[in-house]
Amino acid sequence: MKMVGDLSVIKTAAGIPGMAGVELQVTAGARNLRDMEVVREYKRESNRWNIRIPSLAGIWDKGVNIGSANAADNMRQSIQAAELLGSNVVLVAFFGENAPDVTKEDSYGPVVQNLKKAAPAAADAGVIVGLENSLSPADNIKLLELVGHPAVRVYYDLFNMSTYGHTADAVSGVKLMGKDRICAVHVKNGNKLIEDAGPIDWPAAFAAFNEIGYDGWFTYETAHKNLTACIADTAKNNQFLTKHLKLPEA
């Protein structure tokens, strides 16, 4: 929402029909979620407006990536903030050259070790480490198997898969991954509405999520011209999403 460090993002989300939560960035902004007092302020606003903070993203300090020596520390710091906020997922992103080759131990080894270091802290906090990356669904499954911990799953992003050359596997990958490997889902279509033509067949994708019984969060990661457009576009996206999803009964 281009409101990094601005507590009013919670109130703004509460004013959009159908919105239930906001995914926050950890390290972005002068006042961010490395500061526990800021975390408490967001928690108070979340409770005030009845808007959940289901997940945290943007967890890396400057110069840190998934293979860095201090990556596990960055993950643990973000897990601490997530626990206080009642967040279910900490999004751990790694793309392109930062994503490991799961066929080469010298490539995936540091990544797997860092995830293994962070996983117990996540489990203790009731938080899932959600991997968002440029790997194919099949390679994501291999990476999860190498880590071998239930607190490490995939934050599924179909649009990213298309961006990184896995368009053909994006929708079918939902069923390949299955409910137990997917902890959260990003929904986006570049700078267009979700219902507009794009690289992902969203009705087919939502049908696949329905079929596997996925009942987690769908989080928009969408581009808008300004805040007014964000509110209007999100209301339209919510209508499209609820049309195609089997939502739990109240």
Question: Which pLDDT tens digit goes with each residue over 22-79?
Answer: 999 999 988 899 999 999 999 999 999 999 999 999 999 999 999 999 999 999 999 9
Reported pTM: 0.95
For the chain, what's the residue count?
250
- Residue 249 included in any domain: no
Is residue 24, in this structure, part of any structural domain at all?
A: yes
Structural domain includes residue 2: no
State residue 4's pLDDT score: 76
The 8-class DSSP code of residue 189 comes to: B
Q: What's the rounded mean pLDDT across residues 177-195?
A: 96
Percent of the chain with pLDDT over 70: 98
Task: Work out the mean pLDDT of the chain and round it to a whole number.
Answer: 95
Range of the domain at 42: 8-244
Residues 39, 178: Cα–Cα separation, whole Å: 33
pLDDT of residue 249: 60
Average pLDDT over residues 161-189: 97
Count of alpha carbons within 13 Å of 167, Cβ hemisphere only? 7
Whether the per-residue pLDDT at 250 is higher than 60: the answer is no
Phi/psi-derived region of residue 159, left when phi > 0, alpha when psi is between -120 and 50, beta in every other case = alpha
Average pLDDT over residues 201-230: 93
What confidence tier does 226 reach under pLDDT thresholds 50, 70, 90? confident
Q: What is the CATH number of the domain that holds 39?
A: 3.20.20.150
165 pLDDT above the threshold of 60: yes
Q: What percent of the chain lies above the pLDDT cut of 90?
A: 87
Residue 19: inside a domain: yes
Task: Specify if 3 maps to a domain.
Answer: no
pLDDT of 1 above 70: no
Quick check: 94 and 111 in contact, CB under 8 A? yes
pLDDT digits (tens, 9 = 90+) for 108-124: 999 999 999 999 999 99
CA 109 to CA 179: how far, in whole Å?
Answer: 26
Residue 215, in any domain of the structure: yes
192 found inside a domain: yes
pLDDT at 166: 97
Among 3, 126, 140, CA closest to 54: 126
183 part of a folded domain: yes
Q: Using the predicted structure, report yes or no on whether residue 184 has a pLDDT greater than 90.
A: yes
Task: Give pLDDT, residue 159.
Answer: 97
Q: What is the mean pLDDT of residues 235-250?
A: 83
The tally of domains found in the chain comes to: 1
